[in-house]
Structure 1
């Protein structure tokens, strides 16, 4: 009996020791040892005023935007996703289980200009200082919080929507497809059923936003001495989501109907699935390429010797430019000769070649078998819309876009009339007669038939973009983002589509 009591006492002691060891871990599972003090590891935490911090509100080092769609480290920058309830909060620093700094500051709202692509209403900013006033959360919800020690600022925003965007999604790279769901302190889940996904790529985003941009000069490139821009999107793969540019676009390898889910857990972070649930109708059989031909073409523009008849395929080379993410669209700016005509073909032969039928409405014909007449000598933009079965021939609409063309918050507006190029047929050039700045020079085209598949609106400007590199006009087409050409303060841009050259002065 005494031996039994000794064994029982020994087992009870082991159980007590095990319980004490368990209690010495914080709620994130990190062993910080026994004794008094806070049950969290060293670091920065968002803590309700007058309360101890918890591990699920920790801010951790994170990458930020880098040039050329990259990601880079930033010393003293940290970010976190957390559920916060209405009340006052501070940022606290914990060292060896003690709060060694309590940070607050003056709070203000920032009406976001960059990255505001849907109904996002900006974000909250705190000019951080030790001992500063606690900042206020006015609505329960999931928040992204960032702290930058170099700029002494706290930024936070409530994440009210989750969406998918990309060439695989119904809205392409232009519009988010929203997921529905709810979030609590225990986690959040959002989903969409029966969504049509193409064999292409996509990403997940909060609040229709790629990032929150805190650069000192948003017209300059990403650099650590110019502030920072932190990610609110996720790529990589469905099995391993990565923030922002740390992860490539998520590949959808099979076209079909899908159920897509996105979840957030306060300990495990974000997870996603895309489960195919059905097939889709076959895609229209759009051509992979289109070519122009005709005696309206200026033969000196082609690879011929300038003496042959433009109706000869072996002597003409006028490939049209495909539009990114819109396989039904092709365009080309060309010089056309008076009293001539043109046609279009998916190969350099007469099989499946087409022109127009009937009369034009504002330069737009229905596709048919007749030659498309040239109204007068000069530059024209030709657009073939294979979904609507139209062919357009009109004066080119060429626009500059970006910080080289202005700084009034409209410089990134597509088809901005203040940034439109002038067509100078007398001198055979298309030029920007305004003054550019020492920034990236980006250019795009627009036309009435250059529209997305359902005809609901124009394609995004970058989907019909080109630039001047080393004196040549280079088209983006269906490729990735292009290299950059720098302007100079007080400079100009001139384009010659007859020989495919351009100058940036």
Structure 2
């Protein structure tokens, strides 16, 4: 009897131990589990990493590439690396064979170092603790290690779309998270994203050419979404976040190292209610549109990207045609304005007033309305600019992109010319690639892409304040692009 009781006790003890072990395995995220027999794939290992052993969360996965062809074989991982340790890449093939790769010959040194992977080679190190993207080019067996120092960017942020406002990084070992935070930052009621590297992508070698990694994080959805006090999921190259109200904020971008998932939030600590509000829309009415009382034929002007209160349009006008502007389609509400007098006007800049703006000559005009805040931000200053439309193809369709740089001033361009009858603009593509067209505003600080548009299915489509116009339109060398702004139509032949 004593022997049987002893066996029962042993069985119960064993069962209890199994339950404890099973329960402990279920706690936390599955991605954090140590893998005794690693599954096929590539893993980052070593004391420079946060992983005590090979784990699902240390596995390199498909890289967030920008515009790479299907089948591009690049994998990677965002992870925290320590400067007082080293790491290698463990590759496990389908048969379970394991190879530890270290550093081989340097393939490229800019914009980030790319090296050939060498079996048994010297382990990798980093100069500073921080977040990195480790990209493995499996096609060429190469590794690129990219510092990921995030900041905020967008027209809601202090530097607008011209650069990143720095955030502070912190690593929480207990929670296995990395957080980038900025406090007491003033944001406008506009849009923002998170970005590193100083550009919208980072290129590294691949199969004799290059691939581009998304270096920005946006909303994990198809359209812009409000950023709130609760964390929202992000993805590389995602949609812009919308800031719901102007004010002072604490903004956080968080990476869960167990899952590889980024998320973001913004907490408003003080709302700004002191400033006048710039118009978000602008309409033009006049002789060219029959002066309709209900403004039903009045076209909406195109907002200039990243420049609140600035709008443009290209219109064909007869000599003596008059026009007025309003942020609403109405004569009784909104802010109706023209210029100071009705003297016929040529190209130039004119302060706002109560008279119709009349043009001196027949032809196309680039009309720009600029609304800015007064020095005390209590009122709005308005002016109208008339200019000759100067249109250009840019980038690949014009012969190629230059090396990345501020504003990319050396990108190839092809100028449009006006037909002899003064009706259509024409340009011949000088390269194969995506169609990009813009009108030069002639205003300092306005970059080419901020007044960009394209031609799709015979219709002119304007970028306005949106992102890249997807899907892109391809064009071949030698094709002629024709634009008629009277009807907002065109051809590619």
TM-score by length of 1: 0.72
Q: Label 1:29 to 1:194 Cα distance change in 2 as closer, same or farther (>3 A).
A: closer
| Match of residue 30 from structure 1 | 33
Gaps of at least 5 residues in structure 2 are: 221-226, 373-380
- Alignment length, in residue pairs? 456
2:228 matched to 1:204? no
Q: In 1, distance between residues paired with 2:48 and 2:369?
A: 66
| Match of residue 138 from structure 2 | 149
| Match of residue 234 from structure 2 | 242
| Match of residue 482 from structure 2 | 494
Q: CA deviation at 1:47?
A: 4.0
| Match of residue 379 from structure 1 | 364
Q: CA deviation at 1:192?
A: 1.8
Cα RMSD for the two superposed structures? 4.7
The Cα offsets for residues 312-358 of structure 1, whole Å up to 9 and x where unpaired, read as: 87796444223345441221111233344433234555444322238
Q: In 1, distance between residues paired with 2:477 and 2:285?
A: 38
| Match of residue 422 from structure 2 | 428
Q: Secondary structure at the match of 2:474?
A: coil
2:116 matched to 1:127? yes
The Cα offsets for residues 96-124 of structure 1, whole Å up to 9 and x where unpaired, read as: 9x98202232124443xxxxxxxxxx211
Q: In 1, distance between residues paired with 2:208 and 2:480?
A: 22
| Match of residue 354 from structure 2 | 369
| Match of residue 376 from structure 2 | none
| Match of residue 329 from structure 1 | 310
Q: CA deviation at 1:393?
A: 0.3
Equivalent residues in 2 for 1:265-304, closer than 5 Å = 266-267=257-258, 270-281=262-273, 283-284=276-277, 286=279, 288-294=281-287, 299=288
Q: In 2, distance between residues paired with 1:407 and 1:417?
A: 7
1:338–1:377 CA contact under 8 A, matched in 2: yes
**Which moves more between the two structures, 128-137 or 489-498?**
128-137
Match among 456, 471, 477 for residue 469 of structure 1: 456
2:383 matched to 1:390? yes
Q: CA deviation at 1:487?
A: 1.6
Q: In 2, distance between residues paired with 1:422 and 1:78?
A: 43
Q: In 1, distance between residues paired with 2:425 and 2:206?
A: 32
1:162–1:208 CA contact under 8 A, matched in 2: no
Q: In 1, distance between residues paired with 2:472 and 2:179?
A: 40
Match among 159, 164, 171 for residue 176 of structure 1: 164
**Which moves more between the two structures, 185-194 or 373-382?**
185-194
The Cα offsets for residues 144-164 of structure 1, whole Å up to 9 and x where unpaired, read as: 1011323322111122x3212
1:199–1:255 CA contact under 8 A, matched in 2: yes
| Match of residue 409 from structure 1 | 402
Match among 355, 372, 377 for residue 338 of structure 2: 355
| Match of residue 257 from structure 1 | 248
Q: In 2, distance between residues paired with 1:170 and 1:50?
A: 35
Q: In 2, distance between residues paired with 1:415 and 1:374?
A: 33
Q: Label 1:429 to 1:102 Cα distance change in 2 as closer, same or farther (>3 A).
A: farther
2:192 matched to 1:192? no
| Match of residue 54 from structure 1 | 53
Q: CA deviation at 1:284?
A: 1.0
Q: In 2, distance between residues paired with 1:218 and 1:202?
A: 35
Q: Label 1:311 to 1:341 Cα distance change in 2 as closer, same or farther (>3 A).
A: farther
2:394–2:412 CA contact under 8 A, matched in 1: no
| Match of residue 118 from structure 1 | none
Q: CA deviation at 1:128?
A: 2.9
| Match of residue 152 from structure 2 | 164
The Cα offsets for residues 425-477 of structure 1, whole Å up to 9 and x where unpaired, read as: 6432454545432311111223245x7xxxxx21x544422211222322233
| Match of residue 82 from structure 2 | 84
| Match of residue 224 from structure 2 | none
Q: CA deviation at 1:196?
A: 3.0
Q: Secondary structure at the match of 1:404?
A: helix
1:213–1:230 CA contact under 8 A, matched in 2: no
Q: In 2, distance between residues paired with 1:188 and 1:31?
A: 20
| Match of residue 439 from structure 2 | 445
Q: In 1, distance between residues paired with 2:112 and 2:16?
A: 48
TM-score by length of 2: 0.74
Q: Label 1:252 to 1:232 Cα distance change in 2 as closer, same or farther (>3 A).
A: closer
2:414–2:429 CA contact under 8 A, matched in 1: no
